[in-house]
Amino acid sequence: MEKGLDRSRQCQEEPQAACEQHGWFIHTELAFDEEKGMYSCPNCGGQVRWKFALPLWKNYTVFSCPVQQIDPEAMFIMRIVFWSEEIGILPFAGGLLDQPNIYFEARNIVMSEKAIVMDEMRENAEKKSKASHQQHDIANQRRPRQRG
Ligand SMILES: [Zn+2]
């Protein structure tokens, strides 16, 4: 996922997908099958390969840079909050009580959203590690037992 986000930061363009035979299309040029919920080549109806695809949930994939979808002002506030947390300096001159109330309100929202994302990432990492342990166990079971 983090790799996906890195790639997305470099993606400034419209979502694009390619058909092996007919080349690249912008998402608005693609055919969309509402029953299957899938995009396909407008020329041959074949499968397309997305330039950028970030699967977020089971049936939900983002085809454009998710960072682009964040409001620039919200992005600015997030950067201020993370910067302030990281280096331990308040954004406005003075002490805690000199900070405008709106800063604390914004900070609470940003930090609580961050905590949710961190929890999700931790859960996913645990699931992945459990899954790989299970595979390991299965591999061990399949190995024929040595006869002494
Ligand atoms: Zn095609």
CA distances from 123 to 1, 24, 112, 119, 132 (A): 13, 36, 17, 6, 14
Give the Å distance between the CA of 27 and the centre of ligand 1. Answer: 14
Question: Which of 62, 82, 108 is at the close of a domain?
Answer: 62
| Separation of alpha carbons 67 and 146, rounded Å | 55
* Total tally of structural domains belonging to the chain: 2
Q: Is residue 148 part of a domain?
A: no
Q: Are residues 100 and 58 in the same domain?
A: no
Q: Which two tokens stand for residue 45?
A: 């109806």
Mean pLDDT (the chain) is 83
Distance of CA 43 from the midpoint of ligand 1 (Å) = 5
The answer on 95 and 42 residing in a single domain is no
pLDDT reading at 75 higher than 60 = yes
Any domain includes 52: yes
Ligand 1 centroid vs 62 CA: distance in angstroms? 22
* Alpha carbon of 64 to ligand 1 centroid (Å): 21
Alpha carbon of 79 to those of 75, 92, 114, 139, 140: distances in Å? 6, 14, 12, 46, 47
Distance from the alpha carbon of residue 89 to the mean position of ligand 1, in angstroms = 55
Residues 85-115: pLDDT tens digits? Answer: 999 999 999 998 999 999 999 999 999 988 9
Answer whether residue 147 is part of any domain: no
How sure is the predictor about 64, in pLDDT bands with cuts at 50, 70 and 90?
A: confident
Residue 67 resides in a domain: no
Same domain, 76 and 56: no
| Residue-number span of the structural domain to which 57 is assigned | 2-62
The widest CA-to-CA distance across the chain, in whole angstroms, is: 77
Last residue of some domain: 62, 92, 112?
A: 62
Amino acid at 71: D
DSSP 8-state assignment for residue 51? S
Q: Helix, strand or coil for residue 147?
A: coil
Question: Residue 71 and residue 110: Cα distance in Å, rounded?
Answer: 14
pLDDT bucket at 1, cuts 50 / 70 / 90: very low
Q: Where are the beta strands (DSSP E) in the chain?
A: 16-19, 23-26, 31-33, 38-40, 49-50, 54-57, 60-62
Q: How confident is the model at residue 4 (pLDDT cuts 50, 70, 90)?
A: low
Same domain membership, residue 130 and residue 77: yes
Given 23, 40, 62, which residue is the final one in a domain?
Answer: 62
